[in-house]
Amino acid sequence: MASDGLFFKKLAEVHPRFRTPAFAVAALGVWSAILACVGQFQTLINYTMFVAWIFYGLGAASVFAYRRKYPDLPRPYLVPGYPWTPLVFTLAAAALVLNVIFSTPTNAVAGLGIVVLGVPAYFWWRRRKPETRPLEKVVPRT
């Protein structure tokens, strides 16, 4: 996000000698320590894994959208077993998410609440960032 201009620029810097995002790793360590001190580890895992599976499922489902929207783009990597592999994965991710929603709705609401807290920050950073080119201009159609 930082290299895309959607977060603090310092977090996008790469250490000149070690070629690692040293400041970003340190910032993540500090944030993780704060979270570990605030709540129980298992509760934090429940929140993050619930939200992570939402995005894993959306990522797998995006294969269908991109194949439909950009049918002529060259594909250096093809999904094995397409369309069944991403379909089964997307359905499994949806089942896991629904299981958390119905079995522990409080955890589901808390996890989604944490994500929603980041939405205003995203729009604030996006407003400050110059407009980017759409995918059609970046990747020419063949």
Contact (Cβ atoms closer than 8 angstroms) between residue 57 and residue 97: yes
pLDDT at 6: 79
Please tell me the distance from the alpha carbon of residue 72 to that of residue 21, in angstroms, as a whole number.
36
For the full predicted model, state whether its pTM sits above 0.85.
no
Query: What range defines the domain where residue 2 resides?
Result: 1-38
Residue at token pair 């790793």: 25
Span 66-77, average pLDDT: 90
Identify whether residues 5 and 72 lie together within a single domain.
no
Identify whether residues 22 and 85 lie together within a single domain.
no
Residues in CB range of 35: below 8 A, 6 or more apart: 44
pLDDT at 88: 97
Question: What is the number of structural domains in the chain?
Answer: 2
Identify whether residues 20 and 66 lie together within a single domain.
no
- Per residue in 11-68, pLDDT (tens digit) is 999 999 999 999 999 999 998 888 888 778 777 777 788 899 999 999 999 999 999 9
Q: Where are the beta strands (DSSP E) in 45-137?
A: none
Identify whether residues 64 and 1 lie together within a single domain.
no
Identify whether residues 23 and 57 lie together within a single domain.
no
